[in-house]
Structure 1
């Protein structure tokens, strides 16, 4: 993939872009095999590749510049905005939408936030694209100062951008290195973006997590579902379930499935999909996956799926799984280092099969899924 931003050294976020894609992929597979090398009987399935460009479903744009000429992209070392609207990681539909959103910033007179002076309002523009081409747009603001003007100009934006399904304002009053705050103000009647994956409509609310690469996420769901169906458990827990991707894919009549997720918004989204699909044996609960012994209650499941953030599941949950007697665990990880650490804490659960999925081309990051079985 060629990128003029990378060639001009304006953006080097894609740290591996100067390597051919096949070399990138081989490096990731080799790194994962090395990190998990102590598990010599682990069988590796062929890696899942990604498109080299146009694969990102999410644009997390730092807003810089001025009200009349906002930049959407990143900040340079001096705090000045670098506009990346034409980044080749985004689809053609996203490329068409970003200039309209920049114009909206100007029309609504939303002052970009200046990190050096800690003044201004608009910090980030977060845009998510569904497989059907619909969009969720979130404006991360320092305060509610611009909300009235945003509402005033929203109808014109919807007319210019008819695929806009969900719009919201997120409030981040603090000056700190995070993308969004805790409070969300919904601006549209629509509250969820439908992410159609493998024929299932997953509902994404403004503060819910979804994988950045839809096609590779679909492959990940298929792989985990294939492992689950081969084991054919009567009961399953999906921990760190997000909007319910693994649970909803693995659901089948007679299989009791429970999803646990800290985000109340994500749980609401998962419950909505379960109702639409008529899945009576699937339930979702808001809670801390690390305290799953007290959260889920009832009898132990035959299989547990875990899909934690980069920090991994950590010692408490690793210890609980090791002592629980659960026979089967599927661990989906975006950090092989923390995966390896957690596996050492669960010596009775042996890795049998693994697969690298290239969720993040041109970077050193990747997803790896591993099927574990108790000795």
Structure 2
């Protein structure tokens, strides 16, 4: 009979330990050291002395929970929102903004130094904004309480919802919409079929998206249209749909505008008007996005003689301003509806030098005609998983200049490592603090090859 080895789990100490926090890690957790362990503790910040209880121990590293803050840091901020500790939206609100950004930068430098075996230089720029009213897009879940529905945000590390009537990070126009939306969803016949509600505070009107599991009825349409009038908003629904022209009658979903004109919903990226829908993905922090665009354009140095490729382009946040500068641009993304919108926007703006293609950059794409062309520079802004296949593709093409925008420093370090091994060097880098009061950080990295 075969006997399989079963590792014995290390017993976790069930006794609180007094520690003093000295650092923050890249996730915003407090770091404290004793002779026995290095503790990583959520909610702890440098200067805090606290009792902590280990939850998970691996070697000399322990993840722990605060049981009591004995002496708070002199820098610790007071709560400025009644939902702190309930809503998971601002987990690091207790840390001053400058200190938090510095900690994010320090964490990135430690990560990259460990990955490459040599120290990463200081960032050449740090773009940031106010930590209040900076969000121009958000998604609300729907919660039922004593027979009434409310808009809410998820609790941290939970599926439970917290009722929200006002959020410090949202724009005024979005906060003003919460109460009317709470009222109308409770008047709707189909209130039990609403999935969630998304808001987009565009540079035109406010966009409101209702996701619903059945086709919206006329009565509920009329109710939502009245809210659209009151809020001066563009309202759409995403609902089940069967295309009568399709051979197979498989049900899909579609977004349908029920109030307002799509012409009134748009963002302005570096002077270029980009029409969008209430469901469109846009950079949440418009102030930081403009600064990021300035930096990317400076790095790419577009001219009428240059050819630029924008991978994971979305609606064309980078591609459209680059095209406006006169360069020939090819934008590529997997989402066909976004590419269709990007093409329409380029046509409306008279940007004949901008071309947009649909492709899955994690699957075979290298044989497509746009991929075989030569480019002077490439901008790529992948999701959190990174862009390994695209990176290897660019290395093989020996593109001389690559600008990587990444919302995940760990994935960015892996992608950069591929370029470094192929002879590229990090010429400049910096951060864009798109989400103050959180651990999230956006990196912009310029890599060049001689």
TM-score range, shorter chain: 0.7 to 0.9
Partners in 2 of 1:298 and 1:281 — Cα distance?
A: 18
Shift of 1:369: 0.3
User: How far, CA to CA, are the matches of 1:49 and 1:171 in structure 2?
Assistant: 40
Deviations along 1:323-350, one digit per CA (max 9) or x if unpaired, are: 1111111000000100100111222222
For the residues of structure 2 that align with 1:191 and 1:131, how far apart are their CA atoms? 13
Q: Secondary structure at the match of 2:82?
A: helix
Corresponding position of 1:312: 386
Scaled by the length of structure 1, the TM-score of the pair is: 0.86
- Which residue pairs with 2:21 in the alignment? none
1:138-193 residue CA offsets vs partner (Å, 9 max, x unmatched): 1122333x44333222331122111x124222459xxxxxxxx9722313363462
- Aligned match of 1:25: 101
Partner of 2:80: 3
Secondary structure of the corresponding residue to residue 367 of structure 2: helix
Q: 1:209-237 CA deviation, whole Å, 9 max, x = no partner? A: 21111111111111101111278861010
Structure (1/2) with the larger strand percentage: 2
| Residue aligning to 1:101 | 181
Unaligned 5+ runs, structure 2: 1-76, 242-250
SS of the equivalent of 1:355 reads strand
Alpha-carbon distance in structure 2 between the residues aligned to 1:147 and 1:264? 28
Kindly indicate whether the alpha-carbon contact (under 8 Å) linking 2:302 and 2:325 is maintained by their aligned counterparts in 1: no
Matched residue count = 354
1:34 aligns with 2:107: no
Instruction: State the 1:303 CA deviation.
Output: 0.8
Checking the alignment, whether the CA contact within 8 Å between 1:42 and 1:352 is kept in structure 2 is: no
Deviation at 1:266, TM superposition (A): 1.2
**Corresponding residue SS for 2:162:** strand
Residue matched to 1:127:
199
**Residue of 210, 230, 237 corresponding to 1:168:** 237
CA gap of 1:182–1:126, structure 2 versus 1, over 3 A, is farther
Q: What does residue 190 of structure 1 align with?
A: 261
* Larger CA Rg, structure 1 vs 2: 2
**8 A contact 1:227–1:371 mirrored in 2:** yes
**Do the aligned residues in 2 keep the contact of 1:205 with 1:265 (CA within 8 Å)?**
no
Q: 2:151 — aligned with what? A: 72
- Mapped contact 1:208–1:263 kept (Cα < 8 A): no
Q: In 1, are the aligned partners of 2:293 and 2:318 still within 8 Å (CA)?
A: yes
Out of 385, 396, 418, the residue aligned to residue 345 of structure 1 is 418
Aligned equivalent of 1:361: 436
Q: Note the 1:40-59 alignment, pairs <5 A.
A: 40=119, 42=121, 44-59=123-138
Deviation of the 1:5 alpha carbon: 3.2
> Residues 321, 69 of structure 1: CA spacing in aligned structure 2 closer, same or farther, 3 A cutoff?
same
Select the structure with the greater relative contact order (CA < 8 A; seq sep ≥ 6). 1
Task: Report the equivalent of 1:372.
Answer: 447
Gaps of 5+ in 1: 112-119, 173-180
Corresponding residue for residue 50 of structure 2: none
